[in-house]
Amino acid sequence: MVTIPTGHSPLGGSGAPRWMKCPGSVSLSQGIVEDESDFATLGQAAHKLGELCLNLNTDAWSYIGVEMGADTAGGTILVDKDMSDAVQTYLDAVRLMHPVRDLGTNTWVEKKFYCPTIHEYFYGTSDFVHLMLKERVLHVWDYKHGAGVVVDVIRNAQGMYYACGVLEDLELWDKIDLIVVHIAQPRGFHFDGPLRYWTVSIDDLLAWMEDELVPAMDKALVSRDTISGLHCRFCPARSHACPRLMEDMEEFREMATKLAEKGADALTNEQVGRLLELRVLEKIVGKAAEKTAYERMMAGQLIPGQKLAKARSNREWKDGADTALRKKFGKRAMTDPKLKSPVEIEKMPEGEKLTARWAFKPDRGLAVVSGDDNRPGVNQNVRAMFTDQTKKGKK
């Protein structure tokens, strides 16, 4: 029996969207140990809750108030309503799509794999796997608890990586025709909704693995080539003198100076696009600097022009407030009843049909967004949209 390596692979699935684009990030990140963020520990706790519920066939709400992990300050992370609702959305979707589940036979929760036959560093853990052997279909699910970074499912490198690992580990390459990759991200807004899936044929997945994935893994072991982009957000080297980011910041400074001296109209369309890209990278570098400042100031050091202060937060009611306020103000303490959100209605019987009939997305106008944004682009030939129809047919 092959022993699965412990810890995270330097070429694991979660990092594939980064190191497949920027092979040099692997060597630059070597030896860097990052402290876990509160977002990471919260995500781990949510994954633990999902695993527990799937293994015991229980619901997330039944664990509200139960400890599910520790935060970065050493305190406990308790399951609250927000975590419960998010994880339950994932559970309901899995159970609805896969009603017949037999753990270890056609269903695996937190499925670990190690595939040295593909690559020496090919190992990881898939959140949920369901095999439909008779139909020759494999379902691979990935739960995302984060809300800030929304993940696309189409050609998702992490999902495809996990699919390859499961197929190799369970020796299913010649027994499967289709793989369905699922992303469940209840707390992050995506135009396609919180539950997204994408289907890929076994031939296309195998071709991707052989032509793109494995060559990228080999290259990442020896290359120092760096390419910046949104993937820098999760790179350990982002705050450790990454040469590419240093060059980008110098370019940003030069372009910002030109903008200040001559105005935005002096920039070409290409320069405007590049400046917007650099602004995103500048925010990534700024976040890294902010993290460093926080750690040093917590250790007692002084950072000129900066100080530690209470983080902003909104007031919340204490336990027991509901009873006390109802007693004092009666119905005046309550808000008027209102409809649940379309997402909440969709979970109810026949909710999807009514939501399709009555829900809509209001038009908020257009906005400039990154080309990587999940929203569909609008036809750039906008002049035709504003043609004066009153002049039609007139000489």
- 27 part of a folded domain: yes
pLDDT digits (tens, 9 = 90+) for 214-225: 999 999 999 999
Strand partners, 135: none
End position of a domain, from candidates 231, 264, 298: 298
Residue 15 pLDDT more than 70?
yes
Assess whether 126 and 190 both reside in one domain.
yes
Residues 266 and 132 in one domain: no
Average pLDDT over residues 2-7: 79
Domain match, 250 and 103 both = no
Domain assignment present for residue 171? The answer is yes
Establish if 346 belongs to a structural domain.
no
Across-strand partners of 67?
A: 78
> Per mean pLDDT, which range of 32-46, 152-166, 176-190, 218-232 is the poorest?
32-46
261 and 190 assigned to the same domain = no
Say yes or no: 206 and 261 in one domain: no
> 361: which DSSP letter?
-
Averaged confidence pLDDT in the chain: 87
HEC sequence for 134-173: CCCEEEEEEECCCCCCCCCCCCCHHHHHHHHHHHHHCCCC
Q: Is pLDDT above 70 for 83?
A: yes
User: What is the number of domains present in the chain?
Assistant: 2
Measured CA to CA, the distance from residue 52 to residue 109 in angstroms comes to: 9
Residues 114 and 147 in one domain: yes
- The model's confidence at residue 387, banded by pLDDT at 50, 70 and 90, is very low
Does residue 248 share a domain with residue 112?
no
Average pLDDT score over residue span 237-245: 88
The per-residue pLDDT for 393 is 44
Q: Which pLDDT band holds residue 386 (cuts at 50, 70, 90)?
A: very low
Residue 385 has pLDDT above 60, yes or no: no
Higher local confidence (pLDDT), 379 or 83: 83
In terms of domains, do 66 and 126 share one?
Answer: yes
Residue 369: closest CA among 282, 278, 284, 277:
277
Higher pLDDT, residue 113 or 35? 113
The verdict on residue 181 lying in a domain is yes
Kindly indicate the confidence band of residue 389, based on its pLDDT and cuts at 50, 70 and 90.
very low
CA distance 79 to 130: 26
Please determine, for residue 100, whether its predicted confidence score (pLDDT) is greater than 70: yes
pLDDT band at 350 (very low <50, low <70, confident <90, very high): confident
* Predicted pLDDT of residue 377: 72
Q: Which residue did the predictor score with more confidence, 293 or 136?
A: 136
What does the block give as tokens for 88? 């339950």
275 lies in which domain range?
Answer: 241-298
pLDDT of residue 365: 66
**The pLDDT value given to residue 191:** 85
Tokens of 40: 């990471």
Q: Are residues 210 and 258 both part of a single domain?
A: no
Residue 316 lies in a domain: no
262-315 pLDDT per residue, tens: 888 888 999 999 999 999 999 999 888 888 888 888 888 898 988 888 877 777
**Cα(123)–Cα(225) distance, rounded to whole angstroms?**
24
**69 within some domain:** yes
Is 249 in the same domain as 128? no
Of 194, 222, 250, the last residue of a domain is: 222
pLDDT of residue 313: 72
- Cβ(139)–Cβ(24) below 8 Å: no
Residue range 42-65: mean pLDDT, rounded: 96
**For residue 126, which of 137, 110, 144, 115 has the smallest C-alpha distance?**
110
* Residues 16-27, mean pLDDT to the nearest whole number: 95
The answer to whether the pTM exceeds 0.75 is yes
- Residue 250: the pLDDT is 94
Q: Among 250, 270, 298, give the residue marking a domain's end.
A: 298
Q: Where are the alpha helices (DSSP H) in 170-242?
A: 202-208, 214-222
- 122/174 same-domain check: yes
pLDDT in tens, 311-330: 777 777 777 778 887 887 78
Could you tell me the pLDDT band of residue 174, with boundaries at 50, 70 and 90? very high
What would the 3-class secondary structure string for 47-84 be? HHHHHHHHHHCCCHHHHCCCEEEECCCCCEEECCHHHH
pLDDT for residue 394: 42
* 35 class by beta-carbon count within 10 Å (0-12 exposed, 13-18 middle, 19+ buried): exposed
Section 173-193 average pLDDT = 94
Residue 129 sits in the same domain as residue 176: yes
CATH number of residue 141's parent domain: 3.90.320
- The answer to whether position 210 is within a domain reads yes
The confidence score (pLDDT) of residue 22 equals: 96
Residue 376 lies in a domain: no
